[in-house]
Structure 1
Amino acid sequence: MTNFKFFGISGLFQAPVLTAGHRFLGVAALLGACFVVTHLVTVVVTCVVDGFNWGINAWILDIMGFIAAFYFAIQCGLSSNSKSVDFRKKNSWICAWAVITIGARILDILMLFGVVIWSEIYVTPEGPTLWSNVVSEVIFGMAFTVTALLGSLMLLISPQDVDPTQIESELK
């Protein structure tokens, strides 16, 4: 069993009963923090290399995605510290966000590598812009989203930290 006491300083993995779902959501929070930082680096790299003229659609989608990821990284961290029954509604939102975001990330990855061309969104990046996007979006972004989905599903479908009768009474 992995010792998560080291992460006590991060405020993660502090649920009264630490289940696999809580661990997944704690890891998702860490991956989300990595995504937020690397995404900011990607924006700086893109602006330095390619300029600020991405088009309004790209800026709007980028900012919306960044804010949502930042928010859900925080929610994953909070969920890793809570009883699943107390955080059930927010775990449902984490799950819904993750499902939608996985679809968006798949489309984004296909656009990054030029498989899908959608010039109204953005032009396929090259060089440092492409590779900074690979690190932030493909590596950290996708890992964050998949981990959040798995953790939220575990806590929604089969919570192991509460008595089954407590779940039924909470849902009524």
Structure 2
Amino acid sequence: MMTSGSWAFSEIASDYDDLLGVTGIAPFPTSDGDLSASVATLGNFKWVIDAKTDQPDGAADFLSWCLAGDVANLVPFFVGTQFTKAPARPDVADAVQAAPEAADAPWSAVVSEDIAPASVPTPSYPWDILLAMGKALEKGMNGEDPAKALSGANGEIQKVIDREELAGKAPRD
């Protein structure tokens, strides 16, 4: 068992397609079972143009073509990542679901209908916190005493809070 984001399922689908029949994907469990307010975050990927680039207009044109242009430009990404990502634009979601390959990806509906709508669009905390928590969950699922695993995560998270001077700062909405 493992706790991970859709990127891990995408890797399994791409590199170990023989495991697809015995691998599942589901919304992250909540303490009260209510899946309408997920504890998961989505991505936090950002594309930027480096201020030092020699071709700022070309970089801007590429981003416009890729992200704001014809939805057909984006469909190959979702096909290539085995439908484990949730498109943010409704028109892209429609185009992705219409792709012939989507019929062979039943987990796509779980990502787009069960996980994405209830998720926080971007985390308001450093990646290291997510990593510490994920490691603690995996340890608990693999037999380590959950209290010990959570205690270890707490220590790692406190290091991040101290390093990033997060104490007393309210999270972003």
TM-score (norm 2): 0.27
Higher RCO, 1 or 2 (CA under 8 Å, sep at least 6)?
1
If you compute each CA radius of gyration, which structure gives the higher value, 1 or 2? 2
TM-score by length of 1: 0.27
